[in-house]
Each structure stands twice: as C-alpha cells, then as structure tokens.
A and B are shown apart, each in its own frame.
Chain A
Amino acid sequence: MSSRDSILAAVARNQPERIPLPEIPAFFTEEADVLEKFTTVAVSIGSRVFRVQSLEEVKQVLLEEHSGARRIVSAFPEFAAVAETTIAPGIDPHTLADLDLAVLPAQLGVAENGALWVTDAQLPLRVLPFICQHLALVVPQKNIVPLMQQAYEVIGAQEYGFGTFVAGPSKTADIEQSLVLGAHGARTLSVFLLE
C-alpha cells in the first residue's frame, strides 16, 4: 500500500464521528468610521497612510518621500514618466533586485488590522512587493472593509495563482524583542487611500 493510501486509511479509521461544520457568525463590527480605524491601525503597525484624491497626488507624495529612488516600477500607466510601467510577466524576477520603489494597486483594505489584499491580477511578478526597498499601495477608500470576514466575502471565489495580505513594512523582533522595520521585505509601506 502506498503511503498515501495507508495514511488515508489510518485517518479514516481513527477520526471521530462527524461533528458538523459551524456557520460563521456575524462578528461584531464597530460603528466607527472605517477609514479612521484603518488609518489608526495601519500607522500603529508602521505604515504611512495618506488620503489622496488622484494618482497625480500619489506621485507627488512618493517623489518627495523617495527622492533618492533610482529605479521605480509601477502597475499604473500614469507613472510612465517616472517609472517602468511595462514589466513583462515572463522576465527573470532576479532582475528586480535593485528595485527601490514599487507602486501598485490593492484590491481592498481591512480596518481591523491595516492589511491590504493584492493578487497576481495586480502583480506582474509575485516577488515585486517583497523585493523592493519601499512599497506603495493605492486602494480606493470605498474598498476598506471593517473585518477579515468581510474581506473574504469580497474575495469570495476569486481566481488567482497567488494572493497576499500586506500589513505594514517587513519587520522582526527576533533580537531581544526589539522591533526593527525592514527585515527581508520592503523597509517602508505607504498606503494611499484614494477618494
């Protein structure tokens, strides 16, 4: 018998009588302003949050904040003058090693934890939001939901090869519990809440 079959047989033999799957209850949602809540939580985990009215405004803020950036990649055609906006999905991801800044759209944000949902629909390459020194994510204000529960309601049966929640800059506290921002991923995360 293969290991697969023997494991499955042992599991079938030893699992208890069927216990029903619970309905997920409607969890408590604060009445508070979700944008306020998102901003407070995101800032507490090290993100910078900006409320903006246009991509032009995003560009101004980023060029000022990252004036030293030599290589910028963006999924927004509006950034064509300052960034590479046509990264082919087939390129070798290692060629992004010297990337200073990536500017990408996010599908939705979650107020309770400051996380933003991005899939390969937004990413020409999976490594993009991790390998860049600095990351900027732009999300429509109307797409901020209160809890993870609502986030997964929106995601639903969405088809993707890869998707990730990004909550703040890469971080570690492995050395004596001292929080250090910028472990292996992006050193900073700027979140733009677009009106």
Chain B
Amino acid sequence: MKETKDHAALAEVFNADEPRVNWHDETLWFIRQKRDKAAHTVADWELLRETASQIKHNVLSNLHDYLLQFEANAKANGIIVHWAADAAEHNRIVHAILQKHKVDRMVKSKSMLTEECHLNEYLEENGIEVIDSDLGERIVQMAKEPPSHIVLPCIHKKKEEIGDLFHEHLGTPAGMADPQVLTEAARQHLRETFLTRRAALTGVNFAVAETGEFVICTNEGNADMGAHLADVHIACMGIEKIIPKREHLGVFLRLLARSATGQPITTYSSHFKKPREGHELHLVLVDNGRSIQLGREDFRNSLKCIRCGACMNTCPVYRRSGGHSYHTAVAGPIGAILAPNLDMKKNADLPFASTLCGSCSNVCPVKIDIHDQLYKWRQVIVKEGYADTKKTLGMKAMTQAFASPATFQLAGKAGRWFMRNVPFAVNNKLNPWYKQREMPAPPKESFGEWYLKNRKKRDE
C-alpha cells in the first residue's frame, strides 16, 4: 500500500507556493466574514444555535427510536429503505440498485458520505460511469482530485487552472478563465447529462422522523435536476442526519446557509416525501462507524454536525494548509475529530493539525466543542501509542527536563548559548520550529538567573 504522508508533510507541499497560500487564506477568510455578516442579521442568533444544539442532543440520545420512526414513515410514503453497516455495504447496495435497472451511467449531486465510502471509484471499477453535477465537484473530478472542502470542493483551484481543465474536457477556448463563461459551459455540458441519465444519486441534509421525508439543499439546482429527470433516485445519508420534526427544519435551515456561505438560505431546499408516480426512490441509511462514535462520550457530539464548513473557513491551520493536507473526505477541524474514529492509526496526525484557538467551536451552528475534542483526541492517540515517534521522544525529553531543576537550568543555558554562538545549529531544516519561522533572539539570561541577581540587589 502507498504510504500516506501526514498533515505536516502535505501542508509543506501546499506551502511551497506562498502567494497561493495567501490567496487561499484570504478567500476563506472572506467567506468567514460573510458568515459573520449573515449571523448578525439574526438578532437572536445565539438562541438559534442553542436551540439547534439541544435538538441535536435529543436526537443523539434517542437515535434508535427516531431511526425506527423515520424508517416506518418513509416506507409508508413509498420510499425503499436500505441499511448499510459500512462503506463496502453501502457501495454494494447502490451498485445492486443500478444493476437491477440496467444502468451504467449515473449522475450524482454532492454527497460527502459517498466520498467517505469511495463510491465513485467502486462504481467505476464495476463499469459504471459517474458524473458529479455540482460545479465544484465536477471540476475536481476532471482534475482527478478529491474535494478539498465540503461546501466549496474546488476552493483550492485558480480560475486559470479550471479554464485549462474545461479546455481539455469541454472544449472551451484555450486560455478562457472567465467564471461566467466557464459556468455556462458547465451548464450546457451537465444539462445534457441530466437529460440522458436514468439514475441519480443525491446526498441528504436532513431526514425528518415525524414525516419520513428528507431535505436536500443546493444553490445550483443540480440535485433536483438529476432526481426529477431520472427513473431511479438513490439518496444516501449517515444515520445522524435525522431530526425529530418537520418544524425543526425552521431552525436548521436558518443556520445552515448563513454559517456556510453567508447566504440567508440556499437557493433550493427540496423536501422529498414520496417517489414520483411510477418511479423508484431509494434511501440508504449508513452507519460506517457512527454508532461507535455515538458510544465515545467525549466525541459523540461530533455527530451533531450539519456539514456547513464554517469551522474550516475560520481555521487558521486549514486556511494555510489546504483541504488536501487532511487526507480524509471531510477536512478541517470537524474532519479531524471525525476521522480518528474511522481509523485512529491512519488519522493520528489530524487532531494535532490545530492551534486549539477555539474559533471552530465559536462559529459552529450546533455548538460542537470541536477544539476540546481535538485536545481530547490527542490524549487518546498518545495513550493508544499512535503518536508520531518524534513527538513522543520530544515529550519524554521535555518531561525529564522539567522534572529536574538542574537539568532544566542546564538545558536553558545550553539552548541560549547555541542560539547565540552557533545559530546554524538550530536555524536549519532539521528543526521543525524553524520552518516558515524566524527563531527569536535569545535572551541574555533566564528568568531564574535574573531573579536571583535582582533579589540579591534588593537584599543588599
């Protein structure tokens, strides 16, 4: 198997192009500012967040019954309900539905769950072509890359690069990089796709236990174009997407788009309750580790997430390291607390990709304690023995130094002497703290030395 690089190594690749990092940072901060403006138009925004948070707490504490209620109502509505324990079963279920309908070309709208399950790769291996219809996802699909952000899949790409991809795949003029022209080309290309595909797969934003309906939010209208034109609609959702009542949509739809992009609501919030007359509507409920996360007391609140991406847009580490450095379907702070549950060893680096500044928790519309969970994951990962060896050794050395005053003083003295007399001993590539940083000027003496001297003076 190919060795995957960790967050720090991948961030280093991203950081090689400094102007691009600055551009990426500013673009995401601009979205964070739009979120602030939108939140401030709602006078009781904090009450709204608190209400959403409490509804989600109730959901997690009663998920078993809500799932049963949802299933019963969805079935009564004529929806065909499937259950998948893991990614592999999810992929098999989708494939079987397509086989039953003899479909070998499918159109898909945004679903981070299918990214998590690597559905596209699975279907392609089985001879089924998948076209992603969200513009950003279509762009990364052409580039053979995963999305770098859950709401803005190609936020890492410059328009000139997108122009090159469109020139190659859609025949737009070489060098054309005008977003208006490129979007129009994608509209024409994907309209043909919508009109010719007999199966459409979508994600789910919210599923209502009380009514058995589910809601999909898009700005482009791609989920609706796919679903309403196809013979078969397959909707895939994680089991945590349940909300108790229809009226709760009045809380969550007020929060979602404002937190995500600063819009008052997405262009379309479509409620699917029954299949179209004479057509099939399938819904796949996926666990894939969620029931395990539910049992981890310190981490279960991560399942409250409504996938708005606000924590990514505000994160100083995400903004400067890019989504791909997280090597997981969901990047950023929320991804870093979800991923270790799925594979602790492979994702042991992610909870460390944070400054623990807490900005993620402050913008989260459902009040997930993201930064506290990042801190708690670090402790679990070290205890389980998955921490980076360098980090473990460093921590051991630090523990020894701090445990003995004599060693501590000696180490401090040695450090200051080295920095002053042989700066290249610390200002080099071997020192991870020297990367992208200037080392500070070493003080002449330690606080301990200063204190001793000055107390003596006062005593004299």
**Chain A interface residues (CB < 8 Å from chain B):** 2-4, 6-8, 10-22, 24-25, 27-28, 30, 41, 45, 89-90, 93-94, 97, 110, 112-115, 125-127, 130-131, 147-149, 151-153, 155, 157, 160-178, 180, 182-186
Question: Would A3 and B84 be within 8 Å (CB), given that A16-B300, A171-B267 are in contact?
Answer: yes
Question: Would A10 and B287 be within 8 Å (CB), given that A15-B62, A25-B47, A184-B194 are in contact?
Answer: yes
Main secondary structure of the interface of A (DSSP, over half): loop
Q: Are A22 and B84 neighbours in the complex by a CB distance under 8 Å?
A: no
Shortest C-beta distance, B147 to chain A (Å), equals 11
Question: Would A183 and B61 be within 8 Å (CB), given that A16-B300, A163-B271 are in contact?
Answer: no
A-chain residues with CB within 8 Å of residue B57 when the two chains form the complex: 19
What would 5 A/B residue contacts be, using CB atoms closer than 8 Å?
Answer: A11-B64, A175-B159, A184-B221, A184-B222, A185-B220
Question: Would A175 and B182 be within 8 Å (CB), given that A7-B285, A25-B51 are in contact?
Answer: yes
Name the residue in A30, A45, A183 with the highest tally of chain B Cβ atoms < 10 Å from its Cβ. A183
Q: How many Å lie between the Cα of A25 and that of B267 in the bound state?
A: 26
Q: Are B51 and A28 neighbours in the complex by a CB distance under 8 Å?
A: no
Q: How many Å lie between the Cα of A149 and that of B186 in the bound state?
A: 36
B-chain residues with CB within 8 Å of residue A24 when the two chains form the complex: 51, 247-248, 250-251
B-chain residues with CB within 8 Å of residue A6 when the two chains form the complex: 85
When A and B form their complex, which 9 residue pairs have the shortest distance between CB atoms, in order from nearest?
A185-B221, A14-B295, A113-B264, A183-B220, A174-B136, A127-B228, A10-B291, A161-B274, A178-B179
CB of B152 closer than 8 Å to a CB of A: yes
A-chain residues with CB within 8 Å of residue B30 when the two chains form the complex: 177
- Choice from B55, B154, B263, B285 contacting A21 with Cβ under 8 Å: B55
- Choice from A14, A22, A90, A165 contacting B268 with Cβ under 8 Å: A165
A-chain residues with CB within 8 Å of residue B162 when the two chains form the complex: 175
CB of B103 closer than 8 Å to a CB of A: no
Q: How many Å lie between the Cα of A75 and that of B323 in the bound state?
A: 46
CB of B425 closer than 8 Å to a CB of A: no
Residue interface mask B261-286, A partner, CB < 8 A = 1: 10111111111111111000000010
CB of B183 closer than 8 Å to a CB of A: yes
A-chain residues with CB within 8 Å of residue B14 when the two chains form the complex: none
A-chain residues with CB within 8 Å of residue B155 when the two chains form the complex: 177
Q: Closest A-chain residue to B186, C-beta based?
A: A183
Q: How many Å lie between the Cα of A14 and that of B64 in the bound state?
A: 10
Q: How many Å lie between the Cα of A41 and that of B134 in the bound state?
A: 25
CB of B63 closer than 8 Å to a CB of A: yes
- Choice from A11, A22, A41, A168 contacting B239 with Cβ under 8 Å: A11
Q: Are B220 and A170 neighbours in the complex by a CB distance under 8 Å?
A: yes
Q: Are A17 and B224 neighbours in the complex by a CB distance under 8 Å?
A: no
Q: Are B228 and A93 neighbours in the complex by a CB distance under 8 Å?
A: yes
Q: 19 more A-B contacts (CB under 8 A) besides A12-B64, A15-B60?
A: A6-B85, A7-B291, A10-B292, A16-B60, A16-B61, A22-B55, A25-B51, A93-B229, A115-B264, A127-B224, A130-B225, A130-B228, A165-B253, A167-B265, A167-B268, A174-B135, A176-B179, A182-B184, A184-B191
B-chain residues with CB within 8 Å of residue A131 when the two chains form the complex: 225, 228-229
Q: How many Å lie between the Cα of A18 and that of B59 in the bound state?
A: 9
Shortest C-beta distance, A155 to chain B (Å), equals 7
CB of B97 closer than 8 Å to a CB of A: no
Q: Are B220 and A155 neighbours in the complex by a CB distance under 8 Å?
A: no
Residue interface mask B217-258, A partner, CB < 8 A = 1: 001111011001100000000010000101111110110000
- Choice from A89, A152, A175 contacting B179 with Cβ under 8 Å: A175
Q: Closest B-chain residue to A123, C-beta based?
A: B228
Q: Are B83 and A174 neighbours in the complex by a CB distance under 8 Å?
A: no
Q: Are B228 and A164 neighbours in the complex by a CB distance under 8 Å?
A: no
B-chain residues with CB within 8 Å of residue A2 when the two chains form the complex: 83
- Choice from B135, B154, B190, B253 contacting A148 with Cβ under 8 Å: B253
Q: Are B27 and A177 neighbours in the complex by a CB distance under 8 Å?
A: yes
Q: How many Å lie between the Cα of A178 and that of B160 in the bound state?
A: 13
CB of B168 closer than 8 Å to a CB of A: no
Q: How many Å lie between the Cα of A94 and that of B63 in the bound state?
A: 40
Q: Closest B-chain residue to A173, C-beta based?
A: B261
A-chain residues with CB within 8 Å of residue B251 when the two chains form the complex: 24, 148-149
Shortest C-beta distance, B170 to chain A (Å), equals 13
Q: Closest A-chain residue to B276, C-beta based?
A: A126
Name the residue in B68, B134, B179, B222 with the highest tally of chain A Cβ atoms < 10 Å from its Cβ. B179
Shortest C-beta distance, A156 to chain B (Å), equals 8
Q: How many Å lie between the Cα of A163 and that of B219 in the bound state?
A: 16
CB of B406 closer than 8 Å to a CB of A: no
Q: Are A168 and B267 neighbours in the complex by a CB distance under 8 Å?
A: yes
Q: Are A115 and B269 neighbours in the complex by a CB distance under 8 Å?
A: yes
Q: How many Å lie between the Cα of A114 and that of B265 in the bound state?
A: 8
Question: Would A15 and B64 be within 8 Å (CB), given that A3-B83, A24-B247, A126-B276 are in contact?
Answer: yes
- Choice from B62, B68, B224, B294 contacting A14 with Cβ under 8 Å: B294
Q: How many Å lie between the Cα of A27 and that of B251 in the bound state?
A: 10
B-chain residues with CB within 8 Å of residue A126 when the two chains form the complex: 224, 228, 276
Q: Are A147 and B254 neighbours in the complex by a CB distance under 8 Å?
A: yes
